[in-house]
Structure 1
Amino acid sequence: MRDLGSGVPRWIVVVAMVGAAFVLLPLVAIVLRVDWADFGALVTSESSVAALGLSLRTSSLATALCIVFGVPLALVLARTRFPGQRLLRSLVLLPLVLPPVVGGIALLYTFGRLGLLGPALADAGIDIAFSTTAVVLAQTFVALPFLVLSLEGAIRTTGSRYEAVAATLGARPTTVFRTVTLPLLAPAVVSGAILSFARALGEFGATLTFAGSLQGVTRTLPLEIYLQRETDPDAAVALSLVLVVVAVLVVGVAGAQGSIRRGRTVAGVVR
């Protein structure tokens, strides 16, 4: 086969199209399977609306926690050197490859009543397992590495020359972080937060193991879809389409943020 104008061999394009079809055909199948006549009623039932509302609230809180803990963690991993740094990075990114149900078990034996911190929390009158708080913690656990990974790469690419200039002018480290570092990393933080939100929104295994499935309390939209699959397949398909649409919007916004960030980087190089 001859190469295309871009220099890519045609056989690579054919293989790429097969790979794209492998991803796209299941999404097309969902669209074709939806009962459009009853779509509105299926996605606006009491249990569906409650699950969607809970998912949006808990995912937003989990994303906020990812930003609060992920930004400092990414800065420490990217800008400092200390013994065990590689091990720490590996452990922080472990939820990316860890089965979510294993993460749920780990959280249960950390914050549950019989867990590592359970007795101390119980003495303080705090019961986390199988509550809405457990949902937020489970989503944060699986989503945090997405923000850390994307932000750490952005920090290494940006460098520290602007912070160094600010420091030589007498600015304190906290002032440099607030007035220089954060504005520079804002697009990367937004992009990483969007990806974290998407991961939190789709979380299933850790949530089910650590928080259970109580309607209005811990039953998020993925759990509702799983339960509806057994009792009302049409509702499960309709709700799945809702999640697909939300995911497409999130990925689109994240891609737009990435394009903006790359454009600013190119502009900075040109200057």
Structure 2
Amino acid sequence: MGFRLIRSIGRASQKWLQLPFKWAYLRQMIIIRSLLIALLALSGTSILAQDNAGSSTEDQALQLALDRGLDLYRHDQAAWHTTDAMREDIEDLDGSGIRGWVVTNVETGLLVTFWKPEGDRLQGVYSAVWGDGKVSDRRILAGEEAELSATQIELIDASRAIDASALERCSKSPFNLVTLPAAKAGDPILVYLLTPQTGWDSIPLGGHYRFSVENGTVIDQRKFMNSCFDMPVKGDKKNEPVAFGITHFLDPVPTEIHVFSVFAAKKPLYVITTQNELQWVTEVSGGQPRIRRLDEE
């Protein structure tokens, strides 16, 4: 089977409880509509928000969401753009034997190495660096350059430990894969399977999963939404949305998927966390994500 890589245009994730679907949908739309009407009523004035003053546990969860969401976006962009470069540089892609890629940090950005099985080991075929908004250091690998590092092998092994066969799929396209290295010694590797965005007018908010992997074994996994849902993010010329909203049942604060989503949508995402009935806005400012809790007036 030839190498097949689905390039996403950007992505996202979240949803509502599995009440009977139509009632869940209606409830969601009523809540979101009420929130957006309130926001529109405040247009022309500033929306008050303050730095999160919650518990240390809440603050830690928010910081993790920001860090992981930004990493997801950076890794996703790196895989996307270096794949385009690889397609230009390798003439016989089907005959290359490439079966995946691995992303590691280097001084100039993110090094993406495309690999293939070679006997009882893995070998690099092509690599490029994504940094400062461009692809550089494009190489077809041979000899010693094709040898993968221990870190690369560990990340690949973690991604290959995932069994996606039982997961609910929200697209006919294969999942997009992002593997994040352990944040610090003793932490697990995080492997994400993300439903790809297939058009510019909506982003998938369901169908995203995270796996925690230690020593090649999955020790924990979660979904970020209970069902599939595509959030429309485009309108007509007279009704172009300036933000979009979602209710979230599974966590008390927005998650990394919400953060990842605002990069794809290029608009703020308002999140209502039903566990504590709080309202948040997740947005990008100066290229960096931030999460703010909205004050009730």
- What is the TM-score when the length of structure 2 is the normalising length? 0.27
Higher relative contact order (CA 8 A, sep 6+): 1
When Rg is computed on C-alpha atoms for both structures, the one with the higher figure is 1
Which protein has the bigger strand share?
2
Report the TM-score when normalising by structure 1. 0.29
Structure number with the higher helix fraction is 1
